[in-house]
Amino acid sequence: MIAIADYGMGNRRSVEKALEHVGARSAITADHDEVGAADAVILPGVGAFPEAMRNLRATGLDEVLRERAAAGVPLLGICLGMQLLFESSSEHEGAEGLGILPGAVTRLDAPKLPHIGWNLVTLERGSQLTSGLGEATAFYHVHSFVCRPADEGDVVGRGEYGERFASIVERGNVKGAQFHPEKSSRDGLRLLRNFARA
C-alpha cells in the first residue's frame, strides 16, 4: 500500500489514478497511522513552497514524513513535493523545508518562467527508480524553482531550461522527481511502477 500524503495541495487524484494504472494500491490520506503503516509514501505538490510547509506542519505530516524517511520507508516527492524534501526555499518570503535531503531550492535561471512542457532528462547514474528508461527520456515539467542538492551525488538525472537543473534525485530510500510522472505518458508510468516495486 502506498500512502499519498494529503495536505491540501497537489495532484493527488491524478497520482492515485496513475498508480492504479500500473497495478499499485494506494490511498490519499492525512491520517498519521495510515501513513505510518504504508509500505511507501508519495508526497505530491502543486503551488508555493511556504504555503505547502504551513499545511504540512498544521496537519503534523511534516514529522510523520521525517520519521518514515528515517525508518527507511521508500518516499517519493513529486514536483513541489520533491522541493519540500530539501532544507529551505527562497520562494516568496522563504521557508524551511522538511530537511530530509541537504540543499536548497531557488529560482530557475531562465529567460521565461514558469518552465512548462516536455523536457529531456539525461540520466547521470543508475537507479532502480529509472530502470528501463534508457540514457535520456522526456518528462512533463511545470515549475519556476529548482532544487540545488548540497551533494551532487544525490542527482540521478538533469533537465535543461536556461540552465541545467536537478530533475531526479535519490538518496537511499528518498527520491524526488521535479516533473509530473503521472502526466508523462508511458515513461512516467514506468517510473511510478519502478517506485511501487521498490
Residues carrying an active site annotation: 79, 180, 182
Supply 127's cell numbers: 537507479
What is the rounded CA–CA span in Å between residue 38 and residue 87? 24
Please give the helix or strand (H or E) that residue 66 lies within, else none: helix 61-70
What is the rounded CA–CA span in Å between residue 20 and residue 117? 24
What is the rounded CA–CA span in Å between residue 146 and residue 49? 11
Any residues with CB less than 8 A from the CB of 157 and at least 6 apart, and which?
Answer: 121, 122, 123, 124, 130, 166, 167, 168
